Amino acid sequence: MKDTSRSLPAKELFDLPEGVIYLDGNSLGPLPKSVAAHVAETITGQWGAHLIKGWNVDDWMGLPKQVGDMIGRLIGAPTGSVTTGDTLSIKVFQALASAVKMRPDRRVILSDSGNFPSDLYMAQGLISHMGQGHELRVVAPDEVEAAITDEVAAVMLTEVDYRTGRKHDMTALTQAAHRADAVMIWDLAHSAGALPVDLEGSGCEFAVGCTYKYLNGGPGAPAFIYVRPDIVGDLSPALCGWLGHDAPFAFEPGYRPAPDIERMRVGTPPILQLRALEAAMRVWDGVDMNELRAACLSLSDLFIAEVEARCPELTLASPREGTLRGSQVSFIFEHGDAAMQALVARNVIGDFRAPNIMRFGFTPLYIDESDVRRAADVLADVMRNRLWDRPEYKQTRRVT
Ligand SMILES: *Cc1c(COP(=O)(O)O)cnc(C)c1O
C-alpha cells in the first residue's frame, strides 16, 4: 500500500514570506500555495464562464456540506454532521438558541471567564432578546464542573482558552453536563487543526469553530457547525433562512427546516471563501493529528525552556504541562504590546492580548525546531536590550 502520510513539517505547502517566523497561525493561518489557483479557477472558469449555472453545474449549493465533511474528518464528526457558513459568532448564536430551546424548564447558560468575549456577548444578546429571564453564569475555568447543576440548560465552553492556551477536558465536562441533563456546546476555534478532537466520542450535542485560524481558510473564512445526528431532526433553528429550508426553491411562505444539518444554514454561501477553504483543507490529507500534536508539544516545550532560561522578565501564563495546553504558549509581560511590536519588526510574528499577554502559536505544519530557537533568540534580544522601550513600538493599533 502506498504510504500517504505526510511528514512534518510541510512548509513547502505554504506561501510564507522569506525570513518570517510565523507564530500566529492561531489567529490567522498562512496562505496555502494551492489556494490562489483554486479561487482563480472558480472566478474565471465557474463564475465567469458559467454565470448562474454554477450553482448547479459546479455544485456551489453543495459546497457548504462538502467542505463541512472535510472539516468533520479532522474533528471526529461523522459524514453529513457538519456544515459551513456565516461567522463563528453567528454559529455560536445558532447553537446556543437551539440548545436553550431543548431545555425549556431551565434558565441558566453556563460558561467560563476564559471564553472568548464574542461567545459571551452572543449569549447576552440572545438572553435579552428572548426576554424569558435566562441568566448567563460565568465562572472560573476550573470551577465549571462544580457549577453544572440541574438549573443549567446549556454549557457553552471553548476547549482552548484564547489567552492562556489552557485546555479543558472535553470528554469529562461533556459527561458532567449530561449527568445534569444539560446540553453541551463546544467551541473549537483553537482546537480544529490544532489537536486531535473526537466529537462523536465526546457525545456533545453541538460544536462550532472558525476556519481562518488553524484551518488556514483566509481572513473572513466561513465558520462551521456540528450537530449530533440523532438530535438534528428535532432541533428548532433560531435563524430561519431560506437555505435552511427543506425546499428552498419551492419558495413556500412558511418555514419548514431541512431534516438534517442543512437546517443550520442561513443564506447564500460565500463560494469564493469556501473554495479557498476547500483548497486549504487539502493540506490535511495524510496528516496524522496525533503526530502533529506530539510535534506541537515538543516545539512549545522547547520554546518555554528557551524563554524561561533567557528572559526572566517574562512569566509563563500557560499551563506548564503540555497535555493541559492547546497549541499556543503565552507569557505575561507588562510591556507585552510594545515587545510584540519589536518582535514583529524583527520578523517573528506572534500577537498580543490585553492587558499583558504575549501569545505564540506553534503549528508544526510550518514551524520547526530551528524556528523556535531563532524566535527565542530574537525575544531574548528584545528583552536584554529593552527594545520594547523604543517609541516606534508604542503605537496603538486597531487590531492587536
Ligand atoms: C476567534 C474566535 C471567535 C471569532 O468569531 P468570529 O465571528 O469568527 O469573528 C469567536 N469565538 C472564539 C472562541 C474564537 O476563538
The per-residue pLDDT for range 177-216, each reduced to its tens digit, is 999 999 999 999 999 999 999 999 999 999 999 999 999 9
Regarding whether 223 and 83 lie in a shared domain, the answer is yes
Give the model's confidence band at 9: pLDDT under 50 very low, under 70 low, under 90 confident, else very high. confident
Final residue of a domain: which of 263, 284, 305? 284
> What ligand 1 atom has the least distance to the C-alpha of 162?
15
- Measured from the CB, is residue 88 less than 6 Å from ligand 1? yes
- Asked whether the beta carbons of 340 and 351 are under 8 A apart, the reply is yes
Regarding whether 212 and 140 lie in a shared domain, the answer is yes
Mutate to test the pocket of ligand 1, among 28, 89, 157 (most ligand atoms within 8 A of CB): 89
> What ligand 1 atom has the least distance to the C-alpha of 210?
8
Across the beta sheet with 328-332, the strand order is 315-316, 328-332, 357-361, 351-353
Regarding whether 294 and 279 lie in a shared domain, the answer is no
Catalytic (active site) residue 213: yes
pLDDT of residue 1: 46
Catalytic (active site) residue 116: yes
Domain tally for the chain? 2
Active-site choice (58, 86, 119, 187): 187
- d(CA 183, CA 40) in angstroms, rounded, equals 42
Regarding whether 319 and 186 lie in a shared domain, the answer is no
Average pLDDT over residues 335-353: 96
* DSSP single-letter state for residue 6: P
- Nearest of 338, 349, 344 to residue 386 by alpha carbon: 338
Closest residue to atom 15 of ligand 1, CA basis: 189
CA of 52 to the centre of ligand 1 (A): 32
Final residue of a domain: which of 284, 309, 331? 284
Final residue of a domain: which of 284, 303, 323? 284
CATH code at position 248: 3.40.640.10
- Measured from the CB, is residue 205 less than 6 Å from ligand 1? no
Q: Give the residue carrying C-alpha cell 463560494.
A: 271
Catalytic (active site) residue 187: yes
133: left (phi over 0), alpha (psi -120 to 50) or beta: left
* CB-side neighbour CA atoms (13 Å) of 6: 18
Domain that holds residue 77: 40-284
Regarding whether 122 and 135 lie in a shared domain, the answer is yes
Its pTM stands at 0.97
Average pLDDT over residues 129-134: 97
CATH code at position 353: 3.90.1150.10
Burial 287-308 (b: 16+ CB within 10 A, else e): bebeebbebbbebbbebbebbe
CA of 371 to the centre of ligand 1 (A): 27
Catalytic (active site) residue 226: no
Regarding whether 256 and 142 lie in a shared domain, the answer is yes
- d(CA 123, CA 144) in angstroms, rounded, equals 17
Regarding whether 206 and 59 lie in a shared domain, the answer is yes
Active-site choice (106, 228, 263, 359): 359
Amino acid identity for residue 360 in this structure: F
Give the model's confidence band at 5: pLDDT under 50 very low, under 70 low, under 90 confident, else very high. low
Catalytic (active site) residue 212: yes
